[in-house]
């Protein structure tokens, strides 16, 4: 009697824990009982022989009902990882016994379908899988959905949607060469030439010695030649001036209002598996900003970020490795909130005086061109980086696809020509460093 009460208590606990009967339980219980009853009523031994093992096996399988709910948890990973990183993840299965198998499904981002399903025996409590983050962005990278089965599959628990594991994959850092930038007058040390004299390495001028000059700046060769020209053993001392070296401010203005790819037919649809199109305009702009920011921060410049569509997401100029990490996280935040806004915002207060501004946009509307032209009047250098895909493919599903493509390209050429007419240099993403270098040579 005590065993019967314990079994009934365990069955009620299993029901509260989410366990329920399957069709196999109904077939085993009612089928076996019906065959045995029919065999006794009809005096058919063959029916009893068939139904009795079925009924007995069902009762034996239910003699040890499962206990508490099955919990499937994934190993904790860092909140932010690098694009291209990989990791081995341990999936832990916790149950109170009476479980014959556990089916764990691992949907992975960017892959169609339900994902691979792993079937674990009841004795196994751990599953290891491999994750690789091939593209940057933010989203769910692991969710262990699971379903558990009792003995002979008569009771099941689930399916249960697992806890989502979200990760921020930072944009990759390509190693482009960092071109020189225009100097900022307020700096006293740095990697770029300043117009004022100082203690840099680049010669500026030679002049006679004046009170207050340092003796170590005297150029004795020039002083001796000046004395020989005047017939004196030592002429008036002459001092060689050098340019001061200053840091530069570089501000990237990201146009997150539009993300377009080469296929014109896909411009009105979202990218499956993430908010950013692979190889699209926003992807190209973010990768270029991350690479250039890393290069210029490495040489001591101050780098900032402005989001033309959402100004509140900007980052003021800063230096160091923490600034690079902050910029990369903010780029992901900008793409997460990306969307069309009718008026881009690039105010003078967002850009420090004397800073170089690089606007990255596909230039699909006149508003961003007007904003860039207005900003060109407040900065020493403004570059417009065209991130529109080089080869646009017309939509084959409409007879107007070719005409739409020609109109878009014609309007795009007119906008770029307007930028050049107002003194704004237009370069591709890979030509930013070279454009900055040409600007420096022109200033010299």
Position 4 scores a pLDDT of 45
Nearest C-alpha neighbor of 296 from the set 352, 356, 362, 345: 356
Q: What percent of the chain has pLDDT over 70?
A: 78
Q: Hey, what are 100's tokens?
A: 């014959």
The residues, any chain, with a CB within 8 Å of residue 34's CB and separated by 6 or more, are 51
The CATH 2.60.40.10 domain(s) of the chain lie at 71-170
CATH class of 249-443: alpha beta
pLDDT at 169 over 80: yes
**Distances from the Cα of 128 to the Cα of 88, 114, 195, angstroms:** 7, 18, 61
User: Up-side HSE of residue 196: CA atoms within 13 Å toward CB?
Assistant: 8
Average pLDDT over residues 352-364: 88
Q: Specify the domain boundaries for CATH 3.40.50 within the chain.
A: 249-443
Q: How far apart are CA 125 and CA 118, in angstroms?
A: 12
Lowest mean pLDDT among 176-185, 188-197, 224-233, 263-272: 188-197
Helix (H) or strand (E) holding 92: strand 86-94
The answer to whether 98 and 62 have CB atoms below 8 angstroms apart is: no
2 pLDDT more than 70: no
Q: What is the predicted pLDDT for the residue at 164?
A: 80
CATH of 71-170, one of 1.10.10.10, 3.30.450.20, 2.60.40.10, 3.40.50.10260: 2.60.40.10
The more confidently predicted of residues 253 and 152 is: 253
Choose the weakest-confidence range: 47-51, 152-156, 163-167, 274-278: 274-278
Q: Which of 108-117, 270-279, 404-413 has the lowest mean pLDDT?
A: 108-117
pLDDT for residue 323:
93
Residues 6+ apart with CB under 8 A from 226: 235, 236, 238
Q: What is the pLDDT of residue 296?
A: 85
Percent of the chain at pLDDT > 90 equals 17
Query: What is the predicted pLDDT for the residue at 241?
Result: 74
Q: What is the mean pLDDT of residues 41-58?
A: 82
Average pLDDT along the chain:
78
Say whether pLDDT at 1 is over 70. no
pLDDT at 320 > cutoff 50 = yes
Q: What is the pLDDT of residue 243?
A: 52
Among 62-66, 74-78, 116-120, 400-404, the range scoring the smallest mean pLDDT is 62-66
Higher pLDDT, 419 or 47: 419
Query: With 50 as the cut, is the pLDDT of residue 253 above it?
Result: yes
Residue 406 has pLDDT above 80, yes or no: yes
Residue 362 clears pLDDT 90, i.e. is over it:
yes
Phi, then psi, of 332 in degrees rounded to 5: -65, -40
Q: What is the pLDDT of residue 284?
A: 92
55 — pLDDT class (breaks 50, 70, 90): confident
């Amino acid at each position: 009697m005590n065993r019967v009460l314990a079994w009934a208590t365990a069955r009620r606990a299993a029901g509260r824990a989410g366990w329920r009967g399957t069709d196999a339980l109904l077939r085993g219980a009612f089928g076996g009982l019906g065959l045995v009853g029919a065999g006794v009523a009809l005096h058919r031994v063959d029916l009893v022989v068939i139904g009795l093992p079925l009924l007995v096996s069902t009762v034996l399988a239910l003699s040890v009902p499962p206990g508490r709910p099955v919990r499937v948890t994934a190993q904790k990973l860092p909140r932010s990882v690098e694009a291209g990183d990989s990791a081995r993840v341990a999936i832990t299965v916790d149950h109170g016994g009476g479980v014959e198998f556990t089916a764990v499904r691992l949907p992975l981002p960017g892959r169609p379908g339900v994902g691979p399903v792993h079937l674990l025996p009841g004795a196994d409590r751990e599953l290891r899988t491999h994750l690789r983050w091939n593209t940057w962005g933010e989203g769910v990278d692991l969710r262990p959905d699971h379903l558990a089965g009792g003995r002979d599959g008569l009771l099941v628990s689930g399916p249960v949607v697992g806890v989502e594991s979200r990760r921020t994959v930072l944009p990759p850092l390509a190693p482009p060469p960092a071109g020189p930038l225009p100097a900022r007058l307020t700096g006293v040390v740095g990697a770029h030439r300043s117009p004022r004299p100082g203690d840099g390495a680049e010669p500026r001028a030679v002049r006679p010695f004046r009170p207050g000059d340092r003796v170590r700046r005297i150029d004795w060769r020039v002083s001796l030649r000046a004395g020989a020209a005047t017939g004196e053993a030592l002429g008036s001392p002459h001092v060689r001036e050098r340019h001061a070296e200053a840091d530069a401010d570089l501000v990237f203005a990201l146009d997150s209002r539009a993300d377009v790819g080469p296929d014109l037919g896909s411009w009105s649809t979202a990218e499956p598996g993430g908010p950013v199109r692979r190889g699209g305009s926003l992807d190209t702009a973010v990768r270029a900003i991350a690479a250039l920011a890393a290069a210029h921060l490495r040489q001591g410049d101050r780098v900032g970020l402005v989001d033309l569509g959402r100004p509140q997401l900007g980052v003021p100029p800063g230096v160091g490795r923490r600034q690079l990490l902050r910029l990369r996280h903010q780029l992901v935040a900008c793409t997460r909130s990306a969307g069309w806004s009718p008026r881009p915002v690039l105010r003078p207060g967002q850009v420090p005086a004397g800073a170089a501004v690089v606007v990255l946009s596909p230039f699909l509307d006149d508003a961003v061109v007007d904003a860039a032209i207005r900003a060109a009047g407040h900065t020493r250098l403004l570059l417009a980086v065209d991130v529109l895909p080089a080869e646009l493919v017309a939509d084959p599903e409409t007879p107007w696809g070719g005409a739409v493509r020609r109109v878009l390209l014609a309007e795009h050429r007119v906008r770029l020509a307007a930028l050049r007419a107002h003194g704004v240099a237009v370069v591709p993403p890979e030509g930013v460093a070279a454009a900055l270098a040409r600007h420096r040579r022109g200033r010299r």
